[in-house]
Chains A and B, each alone.
Chain A
Amino acid sequence: MSQGNPILGTSPLRKEGRAKVLGATQYIDDLTLPGLWHGTTIRSTIARGRIKSITFDPQINWSEYAIVRAADIPGENSIVHLTRDHPCLAATEINHVAEPILLLAHPEKSALLAARSAIHIDYDELPGVFTIEASEAAVEALHHDPNATSNIIWSGSNSGGTPNCFKQYQMHTGEADETEDALAAAFESADFIITGEYTTGAQEQLYIEPNGVIAECDIDPATGHIRGVTVRGSMQCPYYLVHALALVFNLPEENCRVLQVETGGAFGGKEDFPSVIGSHAALLAMKCGHPVKIIYDRSEDMAATTKRHPSRTRIRTAVSRDGKLLAGTIDIALDGGAYATLSPVVLSRATLHAPGPYKWPHLRVRAKAMATNIPPHGAFRGFGAPQSLFALERHIDKIAHTLGLTPEEIRRRNFLSTGDRTATGQLLTEPVDMQHLLTRALADSGYHARRDRFAAENPTSRIKRGIGIAAFMHGAGFTGSGERRLNSLVHLDILPNGLPQILVSSTEFGQGTNTILCQVAAEALALPYDDILIHQPDTTLVPDSGPTVASRTAMIVGKLVERAAHQILTTLRTHASLPTPHTRAQFIAAAQSYLTRHNHLRASTRYQPATKIHWDDDLYRGDAYPAYAWAVYVAEVAVDLSTYTATVTRFDALQEVGRVLHPILARGQIEGGIAQGIGYALYEKCVYQNGHLMNNQMTNYIMPTSADLPTIHVYFEETPSPHGPGGAKGIGELPMDGPAPAILNAIEDATGIAFTAIPLLPEDIFERLTAYTTHPHGGTEDLNPATDLDTETESPRVSA
């Protein structure tokens, strides 16, 4: 297809990179509009209760301010995600700390500070439900007594759930009854039954740019009628915000315009949340008649926006003496927070990744997302998979230790391979070679030699070293029939200068969307990369090519761009005598000649599955994902017995992600994901007290610095896939899945102690290593977040 040098597989400069290194890129807080006002959010200081009264201190001249309450919302008071249970502003009931109650705007930012402290909200406070276990206990109580509703914090009615439970899934390897019989038989006769419980904590996305938007509202001056709203902001999914605005303002979607501004990191944290802050700013713009900017400061962003779902996974496995998995049951519970938001789909990905890259003759996965009085948990890179893969990959090591096999051998005896069926019954028709990935990962990382050396050195050292592995996969694209439902659309235009411009709603937030889509178009059109333009997403100009999530952009949207490019070539060859092959000049000449006659040239492509995809949502069986990326990660740790600190001292990551489109960007994705995974495992703990996130600052929410991370070695195995352009698959989320289990497996290798919970902090290691007392809690359970000995703290630092 292409002439000259190939573009896919090379590393051209990031499209918007020059502006970024010059500091010329304008993020949302760098923008202003004429007559701009500033907005702020008044939030609940309690986790659960009812608003009794709101008092405005008369010392403030409130007529200078725009004030929005729930009653001012012209449409429905709800932020639509999958359900409509999530209020845009709390009217009376409070379900989590930092729940928005009022919105204020003023031309002067400083005037908002004074006003915030002059609003007093009184509550009737109710005891909060803060953990999965407390939420389950309330459901249990309800089973015994239908009147025991005091701790039912989410009714479930009208939102597809049950009391305190947003969603449940049940997945079997076969027909349900038969599988249950087979499970019973297998557990009856197996050589070993091995059980385990694994927990993971909340994790903050910690994009370096906090959430922010600027909204405008177009009001007919004659009638006062709202004609439309426009929101610019830092976000991943412009069309999600369009849907939210349409409901809040009761406007047709075409009157809700959303523009994505250059976005300073997202990681899922700007998938669903911009619907909230975007609606808020638009309501203030409606009220004051001016553009309104809301920029969260760090502490508000951390206290009020989404985190990764905490989880608890229980695994029970029947295993033969020779290390074959015979049967298993996996029970997953996620803490969804106060409203459903994206929990059902996060739970779905957790369910579908729970079996890992293994053959399960008989398996049942049950999963549920429980309601708690914590700010809603939401999307974060990995989206449920890191939780269940942490549990499984720790459990596989437990099986190995129980049976006396090596971590390597237990995996080899159970890996899926080409032609096998996954636990959902998906036939793996494309090549899958986990055996080779494991062999290569161990060889490239020098695993065996290091493991032997540590075993020899550890007995005489205060520093215990260990090495651990994790084998896993990540499904690219939306689950099951999701991509068909999304029905993504892409346009490729030829501009008057004869050169192409890509129009997609896919957003750039550092991961490289602009660059790889332009590479795909350049390669397909046989044009230089620099000739391809991509338009900043503006929903009045770009089609809905789906959300920028789920490791789908390169594979799904990239394929659509590739197909659109081929359509353009066909058109120009058929109608404008473009020769095959062609030069750049010939392309431009043909394109301009076509434009002279037809005025415009646009190719539009809609999603079509590359292969037949069957998915049954009721049985939760079939082809769960169009394609999977596969990986084996190797972590080396050092545990210092003086300080009980575990440090990752080396990390090796081998993955098969199809064709690598841009080696530098791809490495950047893998390394960045691993860094977040190391933080997830060993550093990043969300410390809550009565539903308040107490460490909502960068100084006490501990993400790794450049001095904390090991050298990360990245290797790719390239097996072209039919699903993505040039053979690519999804890559973005995969690296989040493997580090935590590999690291805890390494810590067990180093210390002999099987830790089952993350984040694993030195205090937790200390309590287990020195477990000679019967201390009631121990470890980080004993943290007292109300106190900071370095800094006097009188009260929780929440945005109130």
Chain B
Amino acid sequence: MTTIHLTVNNQPHTLTVPPMKRLLDLLREDLSLTGTKEACGEGECGACAILLDTGSGPELVNSCLIPALQADNATLTTIEGLAPDAALHPIQQSFLQAGGAQCGICTPGMILATHHLLTQHPNPTEAQIREGLSGNLCRCTGYMRIFESIRQAATETAR
């Protein structure tokens, strides 16, 4: 067991966990943040994607592939932290309006991947959208409504 300090959604935490525990399990089991999902457990589907800042800015990562110890002193944002007050983040709003969420299980990861994409490319091209989401598998939508959600979110954020 090892003791780590990390800040999740602006809340500091000190936890004693097995150092090789997956960050995904730490979030879900130790912090009860179940918005981060497991669907493949091998970094293929993006359902467990979160934003992780280990000192060089927040980056999209798959939390199923990160040992807890490597998140020591890191700052994390999960889907629960995107809109800390009752309002929806503009990306959440656009996913809701444009049909970007169907069954919803890939949605937290999709929304965080979109957040990362729009940070890098505020006005993404179709190719940038397709690439930016290609690590997040969705079986319901065929991605078209998700692309539309992102275009709407980009427009909304630009205003």
- Which A residues are within 8 Å of any B CB, using their own CB? 11, 13-14, 16-27, 29-30, 205-210, 262-267, 297-298, 509-512, 664-665, 667-668, 671-676, 697-699, 703, 705-707, 709, 711-712
A16, A18, A23, A664: which contacts B108 (Cβ < 8 A)? A23
Let me know if B134 and A672 touch, CB within 8 A. no
Residues of the B chain whose Cβ atoms lie less than 8 Å from the Cβ of A297: 41
Flag the segment in B52-60, B67-75, B125-133 that touches A.
B125-133
Q: B147 — nearest CB in chain A belongs to which residue?
A: A706
Q: Give Cα A512–Cα B137 distance, bound, in whole angstroms.
A: 20
The reply to whether B144 and A711 contact each other, CB–CB distance below 8 Å, is: yes
Residue contact A209 to B39, C-beta cutoff 8 Å:
yes
Q: In whole Å, how far is A518's beta carbon from the nearest beta carbon of chain B? A: 15
Give Cα A675–Cα B139 distance, bound, in whole angstroms.
8
* Contact residues, B115-159 vs A (CB, 8 A): 129-131, 133-147
CA distance A210 to B104 in the complex (A): 13
B22 within 8 A of A: no
B21 to chain A, nearest CB (A): 11
A18 to B96, CA, bound (A): 7
Q: How far apart are the CA atoms of A695 and B34 in the complex, in Å?
A: 28
Q: Judging by beta carbons under 8 Å apart, are B99 and A706 in contact?
A: no
B83 and A22: CB pair below 8 A?
A: yes
Given A207-B139, A712-B142, the answer on whether A16 and B40 have CB atoms closer than 8 Å is: no
B103 neighbours in A (Cβ, 8 Å): 207-209, 263-266, 509-510
Nearest-neighbor residue (CB-CB) of B107 within chain A = A20
Binding site of B, secondary structure by majority: helix, strand, loop or mixed? Answer: loop
Nearest B residue to A713 via CB reads B144
Known: A22-B83, A25-B104, A664-B99. A210 touches B144 (CB 8 A): no
15 CB < 8 A contacts A-B: A22-B80, A23-B35, A208-B39, A208-B45, A208-B103, A209-B105, A210-B39, A298-B40, A298-B42, A510-B140, A664-B98, A667-B144, A672-B142, A675-B139, A712-B142
Q: What is the minimal beta-carbon distance from A302 to any residue of chain B, in angstroms? A: 10
B95, A21: Cβ atoms closer than 8 Å: yes
Q: Which residues of A contact B31 (CB under 8 A)?
A: none
Which chain B residues numbered 74 to 123 have a C-beta less than 8 Å away from chain A?
78-80, 83, 88, 92-93, 95-108, 111
B129 touches A706 (CB 8 A): yes
Residues of B within 8 A of A23 (CB): 34-36, 78-80, 107-108, 111
Within 8 Å by CB of B143, from A205, A675, A697, lies A675
CA distance A266 to B102 in the complex (A): 11
Contact of B139 among A29, A298, A672 (CB under 8 A): A672
**Contacting pair A13 B143 (CB below 8 A):** no
Contact across chains for A265 and B139 when beta carbons are under 8 A apart: yes
Chain B residues lying within 8 Å of A24, measured Cβ to Cβ, are: 35, 80
Determine if B30 is an interface residue (Cβ-Cβ < 8 Å). no
A263 vs B105: C-alpha distance when bound (angstroms): 8
B47 located at the interface, meaning its Cβ lies under 8 Å from any Cβ of chain A in the complex = yes
| CA A698 to CA B45, docked complex, whole Å | 7
A717 to chain B, nearest CB (A): 20
Told that A14-B99, A698-B137 touch, could you supply 14 new A-B pairs with CB distance under 8 A? A17-B101, A21-B95, A25-B104, A29-B34, A30-B28, A206-B139, A209-B39, A298-B39, A298-B40, A512-B102, A668-B140, A672-B141, A703-B139, A707-B134
Flag if B139 contacts A674 (CB, 8 Å).
no
Which residues of the partner chain A approach B104 to less than 8 Å between Cβ atoms?
16-17, 19-21, 25, 262, 264, 510
A297 to chain B, nearest CB (A): 6
Chain B residues, CB < 8 A from A673:
142
A667 to B138, CA, bound (A): 15
Q: In whole angstroms, what is the CA distance A207 to B39 when docked?
A: 9
Contact of A22 among B42, B92, B130 (CB under 8 A): B92
- Residues in A with CB closer than 8 Å to B107 are 20-21, 23
Q: How far is the CB of A772 from chain B (nearest CB, A)?
A: 36
Q: Range of interface residues on chain B?
A: 35 or more
Inside 8 A of A209's CB, which chain B residues have their CB?
Answer: 37, 39, 103, 105
Q: What is the CA–CA distance of A510 and B101 in the complex, to the nearest angstrom?
A: 8
Report the bound CA distance from A727 to B138 in whole Å: 30
Which residue on chain A has the smallest CB distance to residue B108?
A: A23
| Bound CA–CA A745/B97 (angstroms) | 36
Q: Could you tell me the distance between the alpha carbons of A22 and B104 in the complex, rounded to whole angstroms?
A: 10
Given contacts A20-B107, A509-B103, A699-B44, contact A27 B37 (CB under 8 A): yes
- When chains A and B are docked, how far (Å) is the Cα of A205 from the Cα of B139? 8
Q: B102–A208 contact, CB under 8 A?
A: no
**Nearest-neighbor residue (CB-CB) of B113 within chain A:** A706
CA A667 to CA B140, docked complex, whole Å: 11
User: Which residue on chain B has the smallest CB distance to residue A13?
Assistant: B96
**CB pair B105 A298 closer than 8 Å:** no
Report how far A673 CA is from B139 CA in the complex, Å: 9
Contact B41 A21 (CB under 8 A): no
Chain B residue contacts of A707, Cβ below 8 A: 130-131, 134
B contact residues around A17 at 8 Å (CB)? 96, 101, 104
CA distance A208 to B38 in the complex (A): 9
Please pick, from B92, B102, B130, the residue contacting A672 in the complex, using a CB distance under 8 A. Answer: B102
Q: Are B142 and A21 in contact (CB under 8 A)?
A: no
Report B90 CB to chain A, min CB distance, Å. Answer: 11
Q: In angstroms, how far is the closest chain B Cβ from the Cβ of A647?
A: 13
Shortest C-beta distance, B8 to chain A (Å), equals 13
Docked-complex contact A22 and B105, CB < 8 angstroms: no
**CA gap between A476 and B38 in the complex, in Å:** 34
Q: A697 contacts which of B44, B93, B98, B138 (Cβ < 8 Å)?
A: B44
- Is B42 touching A671 in the complex (CB atoms < 8 A)? no
Q: Are B145 and A668 in contact (CB under 8 A)?
A: yes
> Across the interface, do B102 and A668 meet the contact criterion of CB distance under 8 Å?
yes
Instruction: Tell me the bound Cα distance from A699 to B140 in angstroms.
Output: 19
Partner of B145, one of A18, A30, A664, A699: A664
Q: Flag if B96 contacts A298 (CB, 8 Å).
A: no
Residue of B nearest to A509 (CB): B103
Residues on B with C-beta less than 8 A from A265 are 102-103, 105, 139-140
Beta-carbon contact of A264 and B105 below 8 Å: yes
Closest Cβ of chain B to A422, distance in Å, is 30
Q: Would you give the shortest CB distance from A798 to chain B, in whole angstroms?
A: 16
Chain A residues lying within 8 Å of B131, measured Cβ to Cβ, are 706-707
Which residue of A is nearest B45, CB measured? A698
Whether A706 lies near B143 (C-beta < 8 A) is yes
CA distance A14 to B142 in the complex (A): 18
Distance (Å) between the CB of B126 and the closest chain A CB? 8
User: When chains A and B are docked, how far (Å) is the Cα of A19 from the Cα of B36?
Assistant: 13
The 4 closest A-B pairs by CB, nearest first: A23-B35, A510-B103, A264-B105, A23-B79
A17 to B40, CA, bound (A): 23
The complex places the Cα of A12 from the Cα of B146 at a distance, in Å, of 17
In the assembled complex, the Cα of A29 lies from the Cα of B131 at a distance in Å of 29
Given the known interface contacts A22-B92, A664-B98, the answer about A671 and B142 at a Cβ–Cβ threshold of 8 Å is yes
Q: What chain B residues lie within 8 Å of A262 (beta carbons)?
A: 104
A30/B44 contact (C-beta < 8 A), A18-B88, A206-B139, A209-B105 known:
no
